[in-house]
Amino acid sequence: MPKTKLLFTLGPATDQPGVLGALLAAGMNGARLNFSHGTQADHAQRFKRLHAEARRIGSAVATLLDLSGPKLRVGAFPQGKFQLTAGEMVRVVPDGEVVGVRDIPISYPHLSRDVRPGGRILLDDGLLELKVRRIKGAAVECEVVTGGYLLDHKGFNVPEAPLSVPALTPKDLADLRFGLKLGVDLVALSFVRRPDEIRRLKRLVEKSGSGARVIAKLEKPQAIEHLEEIILAADGVMVARGDLGVEMTPEQVPLLQKRIIMLANQHNRLVITATQMLQSMMENPAPTRAEASDVANAIFDGTDAVMLSGETATGKYPVEAACMMARIAGEAERSPQYNRLSTAPAVLGPDDALVEAAVKLAHNIQARALVVFTQTGNTARLVSRRRPQTPQVVFAHSLDVQRQLNLNWGIHSLLIKNHLDTEGLLHTMVAPLLKHRYVKPGDTVIVLASSPVASRSHVNFLKVQKI
């Protein structure tokens, strides 16, 4: 299996018999529950089926709750669509205030307060474009720049205007409570603009008693202005290239992706690259060559995980898309350039200094594995950040931590019972290492742990151990 992790979105396509098992066989490390679509009951059923299937084959899969966020949408039209012709004038008005046949209803009541003449309004992921000409009361009069058919409930974006919408909507708060009670491992916040939005979500998660980690989805220009602060506030980030490419411009996205991944790697934050990675496989059994290159380049950039969205949730070829993603990742990692591209990151502190020494030692003595014992996952993440060529096997003391770590680069996670001393751990680790064929008798491994074992103290134990 590739060291880059595979995150697949669940949906109607994965509800079909045999599909979940096939995705797990393809190497799925995590499943995304997209609360922009489907009901809570739908997601609960998928969550339960996923973990039942994972238990059946002895796998621990992370689940990511993706909150809808303040996604702005147009309303419904009498014929289900609205034709826009370049050069004509239309009015954009709040839902409930439509009075004319050229009025476009929207879900956001304060648009006229936030936009200015000359600003752009983008519809349907930027396929259609309006230019603001005048503001009259609650109505925004616009000229159509790029025409076409606008369908019911399509999204709209206003790139130049900082809209006064809350980061967490009432629906998000209800979905958050539901998902945390269900037992999700990670929570992603959409349309993040400022670090305080992430900090608020983390407080809500902690207050619930959950240990779920918080992921900031980067898809707004305001987020790029506060990029490093947001990365530091979050447990991880998602390069959400769909809306990012609408709010910014398509030509800016590749360099932004590289910058985001680089900063996330530097600060030891999980980074997921997402959106339209194998988009053509929604309809076709094979990707374009450009899509294959896109996935490989995200891996060369240093992403922890790559994600499929509609390809697995609603596409015609969910299993083929998953297998293709795994093959592209594996091929990219076999490239001689892959290991040369990773540079040694700066040391973050005493724990990281010991981790750096362990990684170098494992490489120099050609150890079979780097074995990490962890209560919280922090030591394992520090090892993962250094992208070791030596396989990393992590023994987690809780199922929650084991599942969370399954989205971090290169980590093979196993569950182990707590022991009172390191000697007990060293004895207990041998059987599962042999069972899962990570080692053979006579192999040498490097062991990292904290002592005393039951504490959540800093890593302070390094040993060269012969199996």
Identify the pLDDT of residue 342. Answer: 59
Tell me whether residue 456 is one of the annotated catalytic residues.
Answer: no
Sorting pLDDT into bands at 50, 70 and 90, what band is 38? Answer: very high
pLDDT at 48 over 90: yes
When pLDDT is cut at 50, 70 and 90, the band that residue 454 belongs to is: low
> Does 56 share its domain with 183?
yes
pLDDT at position 340, please? 61
Non-local (6+) Cβ contacts of 42 within 8 A are none
Q: For 224-255, how does the pLDDT look when each residue is reduced to its tens digit (9 = 90+)? A: 999 999 999 999 999 999 888 888 888 999 99
The pairing of beta strand 444-449 with beta strand 369-374? parallel
Same domain? For 431 and 388 the reply is yes
Distance in angstroms (rounded) separating the CA atoms of residues 286 and 280: 8
What mean pLDDT is predicted for residues 306-333? 97
Which tokens go with 416? 């182990």
Looking at every residue in the chain, the average pLDDT score rounds to: 93
Phi, psi of 336 (to 5 degrees): -60, -30
Do 102 and 244 fall into the same domain?
no
Best CA proximity match to 241, nearest among 198, 276, 290, 289: 276
Q: Do 371 and 448 have their domain in common?
A: yes
Q: Based on the domain organization, do 64 and 198 belong to the same domain?
A: yes
**Per-residue pLDDT at 248:** 85
| Residue 76 within a domain | no
What are the residue ranges of helices labelled H in 138-213? 170-182, 195-207
Looking at the fold, whether 149 and 173 belong to one and the same domain comes out as no
Residue 281 lies in a domain: yes
Under 8 Å between Cβ of 155 and 73 = yes
Whether the per-residue pLDDT at 337 is higher than 70: the answer is yes
Q: Which of 14, 275, 374, 390 is catalytic?
A: 275
User: Stretch 331-351: mean pLDDT, rounded?
Assistant: 80
Q: Judge whether 32 counts as a catalytic residue.
A: yes
**Same structural domain, 185 and 256:** yes
> What is the reported pLDDT for 455?
63
Query: How many Å apart are CA 270 and CA 7, to the nearest integer?
Result: 13
Same domain, 152 and 178: no
**Domain that includes residue 236, residue range:** 5-69+168-337
> Tokens standing for 159?
């790139």
Count of the separate structural domains present in the chain: 3
Query: Cα angle vertex 258, ends 257, 261, to 5°?
Result: 85
- Determine how many CB atoms are found less than 10 A away from the CB of residue 19: 17
Is 435 one of the annotated active-site residues of the chain? no
Are 364 and 225 in a shared domain? no
For residues 389 and 370, give the distance between their C-alpha atoms in angstroms, rounded to a whole number.
Answer: 10
- Choose the weakest-confidence range: 62-66, 272-276, 298-302, 448-452: 448-452
57-70: buried (b, 16+ CB within 10 Å) or exposed (e) per residue?
eebbbbbbbbbbbb
Place of tokens 């069972």: 435
> How far, in Å, CA of 324 to CA of 439, rounded?
28
pLDDT-derived band at 78 (thresholds 50, 70, 90) equals confident
* Section 87-91 average pLDDT: 97
> What is the C-alpha to C-alpha distance for residues 378 and 457, in angstroms, rounded to an integer?
11
Catalytic residue among 73, 120, 154, 171: 73
Does residue 162 lie in a domain region?
Answer: no
Q: In what order do the strands lie in the sheet with 139-146?
A: 103-106, 89-94, 139-146, 128-136, 120-123, 156-157
Same domain, 13 and 116: no
* CATH number for the domain harbouring residue 134: 2.40.33.10
pLDDT digits (tens, 9 = 90+) for 148-194: 999 988 888 998 888 888 899 999 999 999 999 999 999 999 999 99
* 381 tagged catalytic: no
Each as own residue / partner, the long-range contacts of residues 44-50 (CB below 8 Å, 24 or more positions apart, any chain) are 44/178, 44/182, 46/10, 46/14, 46/15, 47/182, 47/183, 47/184, 49/20, 50/10, 50/20
341 pLDDT above the threshold of 60: no
Span 86-99, average pLDDT: 87
Instruction: Indicate the range of 10-24, 235-249, 397-411 predicted with least confidence.
Output: 235-249
In this structure, the number of other CB atoms found within 10 A of the CB of residue 427 comes to 11
Rounded to whole angstroms, the Cα distance separating 408 from 448 reads 17
Q: Which two three-digit tokens encode residue 257?
A: 């992706």
CATH code of the domain containing 316: 3.20.20.60
Q: Encoding tokens for residue 98? A: 């439509």
Q: How many CB atoms lie within 10 A of CB 14?
A: 24
Report the pLDDT value the prediction gives residue 457, as an integer from 0 to 100: 67
Residue 61: which pLDDT band, with cuts at 50, 70 and 90?
Answer: very high
Query: Which residue of the set 3, 9, 14, 32 is catalytic?
Result: 32
Higher per-residue confidence, 155 vs 62:
62
Answer yes or no: is pLDDT of 452 > 90: no
Q: Pick the catalytic residue: 91, 193, 213, 217?
A: 217
Facing residues of 371 across strands? 393, 447
Can you tell me the mean pLDDT for 65-85? 91
Q: Which amino acid is at 381?
A: R
What pLDDT score does 293 carry? 97
CATH of the domain at 430: 3.40.1380.20
pLDDT digits (tens, 9 = 90+) for 202-223: 999 999 999 999 999 999 889 9
